[in-house]
Amino acid sequence: MNDQGISRLEVHLGRLLLGGVLTAATCLAIGLAIWLLGASRGAANVLLTAGLMVLMATPILRVVVSLVEYVRMRDWFFVTTTFVVLIVLFVTMGVAVMNARG
Amino acid sequence: MTLSTVLSVMAAGAVGGCLGSLLGLGGGVFLVPFLNVVLGLDFKVAAAVSLMTVIATSSAVSAGTAGRQLINLRLGMLLEIASTIGGLTLGVLVEHMSEPLLYKMFAIVTAAISVLMLTRLERRNVLSADVDPGPLGGRFHDDESGREVVYRVRRLPAALFASLVAGGISGALGIGGGILKVPILNAWCGVPMRAAAATSALMIGVTAVSSVPIQYARGYIMPPVAAAAVLGVLLGSRAGFWFGGRARAKWLKLLMAMVLGSVSVLYFVKGLR
């Protein structure tokens, strides 16, 4: 087991999650402010939607980065584990797209 | 919707986020009843908005804990297979479930966990520092005792099953699901409370993402309400994280049991109406 690799991965993922949540929060805060002021419905909707999308994308990106790191560490058990989680998330996306069309 | 609605959602999110990051619950336990009962939103809308805040809590709390070796990344990823399958399944099925059924399920689960927590207050699950933690265990420095803490993971099937159920609860009820995983990881699987809470906090984000895009596509997310809730929860979880390093594990468990008990009573009453 590569404990140093795991520690480094934990730090990387922490930065990724922080970046994602700060970006999402900034979009949502500005979007909500514009929405409350009633200044521009279009701009408010774009920012609110972008914020929610970034929020949802962040944990998915976390799984993708983990997968890349486990490949680099040649930790095949966790490459498999992480890949299975990604497959489940892709199925979710598929169902969501079907719901949006239906 | 008015400014006061948005501000009250934000305040409710702040309270939920604070308690959520202290307890590894995700905060939805408070937010769902508030949006549903106080603001009169449809339960499924309340649950979907709450799941958005669960993602935010997960990212923010995990970003704060990362680097302290409290998060067990390997165990987390393994359990996420079960929790995302649970989330996806119930996220699809929830459209066909009645609200009283959801309330009753939730009441039973929270009551059971509350009792479990109260009977396990003194458990520590700590080995001496020279023990090999095995492939799934871990080690971290505990601020409370000032010692290196080592643990092994026991009863993995129980942890996987708990994650599956927790994922389902997340998809159906809009709460993090840490509500179920943390006590079971702690009481049955040998993971110390802080490591269980940190690992669960990381897991609930991906678990929520296994169902929330479906609710988003169904139109259950009201963007301004979701934005207010997310921003409130982020502020609250900051405060909770600050308290978290100072609170004692025993009091954390006691607080958790009391919170779960109250939520359970609320949902029993609602489910029986």
- Range B180-186 contact pairs with CB under 8 angstroms and sequence separation of 24 or more: B180/B109, B180/B113, B181/B24, B181/B79, B181/B83, B182/B23, B182/B24, B182/B25, B182/B256, B183/B113, B183/B116, B183/B117, B183/B120, B183/B256, B184/B116, B184/B158, B184/B159, B185/B159, B186/B120, B186/B123, B186/B125
Backbone angles phi, psi at A64, to 5 degrees: -60, -45
- Angstrom distances, CA of residue B219 to CA of A36, B40, B92, B129, B216: 21, 17, 14, 51, 5
* Local confidence band at B128 (pLDDT 50, 70, 90 cut-offs): very low
Contact A92/B at CB under 8 A: yes
Amino acid in position B54:
V
A58/B227 CB distance under 8 A? no
- The confidence score (pLDDT) of residue B105 equals 80
pLDDT of residue B248 exceeding 90, the answer is no
A29/B227 CB distance under 8 A? yes
Which residues on A lie below 8 Å from B56 (Cβ)?
A: 21, 24-25, 55
* Local confidence band at B110 (pLDDT 50, 70, 90 cut-offs): confident
Which residues on B lie below 8 Å from A60 (Cβ)?
A: 206, 209
How would you label B240-272 residue by residue, b for 16+ Cβ within 10 Å and e otherwise? bbeebeeeebeebbeebbebbbebbebbbebbe
- The confidence score (pLDDT) of residue B241 equals 66
Tell me if B89 sits within 8 A of B168, measured CB to CB: yes
Measure CB to CB from residue B77 to each of A45, A82, A100 and give the nearest one: A82
Backbone angles phi, psi at B98, to 5 degrees: -80, 155
ipTM for the whole complex: 0.94
Contact A60/B at CB under 8 A: yes
* Local confidence band at A13 (pLDDT 50, 70, 90 cut-offs): very high
B59/A58 CB distance under 8 A? yes
Query: Any bridge partners for residue B150, and if so which?
Result: B127, B139
Instruction: Give the span between the Cα atoms of B173 and B103, in whole angstroms.
Output: 8
- The confidence score (pLDDT) of residue B227 equals 96
pLDDT of residue B210 exceeding 80, the answer is yes
Averaged over A37-42, what is the pLDDT?
A: 85
Contact B134/A at CB under 8 A: no
| Per-residue pLDDT tens digits for A84-96 | 999 999 999 999 9
**Which residue in A has a C-alpha nearest to residue B226's C-alpha?**
A52
A56/B230 CB distance under 8 A? no
Contact A97/B at CB under 8 A: yes
Between B22-26, B27-31, B36-40, B67-71, the lowest mean confidence (pLDDT) is in: B22-26
Contact B1/A at CB under 8 A: no
| Per-residue pLDDT tens digits for B49-106 | 999 999 998 898 888 888 888 889 989 999 999 999 999 999 999 988 988 988 888 7
Distance from CA of A72 to the nearest CA of B (A): 15
Tokens coding B7: 């501000």
